[in-house]
Amino acid sequence: MPFDLPNVPDITQPELAARLQQLLDNKTKPVGSLGRIEALAQRIGLILDSDTPALVSPQLVVFAADHGLVARGVSAYPSEVTWQMVQNFLAGGAAVSVLARQHGMGLTVVDCGVAHAFDPQPGLVISKVALGTADSLEGPAMTEAQARVALASGAALVRELSGNALLLGEMGIGNTSAAALLLARLCGLDVADCTGAGTGLDAQAVQRKIAVLRQVLDRHAAAREPLAVLAAMGGFEIASMVGAILQAASERRVILVDGFIASAAVLVASRLQPAVLQRCVFAHRSSECGHALMLAHLKAEPLLDLGLRLGEGSGAALAWPLLVSACALLREMASFEAAGVSRQEEPFGGTIPAN
């Protein structure tokens, strides 16, 4: 499946930004009193090219795949948990299933490369590239051809989804290792600073994980370009997310980014098309230690900091109501003039004029 890099142009619009700011400043409140919700409303308005933005038919997509590197003991859980959790998502029993149901959003689970044969069932898209990636300590996690297939499948999926908002989720035992490797190589960081406990490793096991990841980075020292790094480190679900992000950005959808793994996909996508970041809202800062470093590199300020480390898109789903509220406030909150409310008085009796 060929992959043509979607065009993601710069959407900086000074006139619209100024109009949005004027609308926010004219609402019946002290200027800036809604804090970061105001910046969020402006960002969504710029993404959707509207001063009355509305989020329509949000789509939460969980990308799932297995990782060959798990055989090296980098995870507290066996690979079988990946396919078992996919079934849990589809049965409605996972955290993200509950949250998607609560907020009335579409939930799609994508088999990008799970080491299991699923029966066709509602809510499941089978786009399997292979039965998990290869062991990246022995060679590339995937060939560049496989990476391009995964990118193309992620982009094709988004083209078929309704709505103007994409929430990113993932499932893949071992994928914190892939994310840490991508962060270390693409940002030139020490992998020890990028690597955490994942699904629950103890301190000694984390040190073993770091040692394995150092060997992987040494094994692929020549991989420096984004697609080469992605292919070397994995995984299929991350590559599919990259394709989905690029497509969603090209369509000017709002992209709500979950935690460490989803942010790693954004990191890769932004190296291919920097303006991707203009379309992204970062839901939360996870407790996985590399995530704070990744957010800092992306110059991203997440909405929440709740100590989450579940993945699945759960943090994105939890943050979703903030986006809905930001849009509603921008569209529906009255101006001083419309409400007949007096403005704040100046210290010596005058009033602050309208912008």
Q: In what order do the strands lie in the sheet with 59-65?
A: 124-126, 106-113, 59-65, 165-171, 254-257, 280-282
3-state helix, strand, coil in the chain (%, to 5): 50, 10, 40
Q: How far apart are CA 245 and CA 240, in angstroms?
A: 9
In the residue annotation, 312 being an active-site residue is answered as yes
Helix axes 260-272, 226-233, angle to 10 degrees: 150
Which residue type occupies 136?
Answer: S
Q: Which of 159, 158, 165 is nearest to 56 (CA)?
A: 165
Torsion sign (Cα): 92, 93, 97, 102: positive
Beta carbons within 10 angstroms of residue 151's beta carbon: 30
CB contact at 8 A, 55 and 102: no
What is the dihedral angle through the alpha carbons of 281, 282, 283, 288, rounded to the nearest 10 degrees? 170
The residues that bridge with 61 in the sheet, in sequence order, are 108, 168
In sequence order, which residues have a C-beta less than 8 Å from that of residue 328 and are 6 or more positions away?
Answer: none
The catalytically annotated residue of 144, 237, 312, 337 is 312
Which residue type occupies 315?
Answer: G
What is the dihedral angle through the alpha carbons of 189, 192, 195, 197, rounded to the nearest 10 degrees? -160
In sequence order, which residues have a C-beta less than 8 Å from that of residue 45 and are 6 or more positions away?
Answer: 16, 20, 51, 53, 330
List active site positions.
Answer: 312
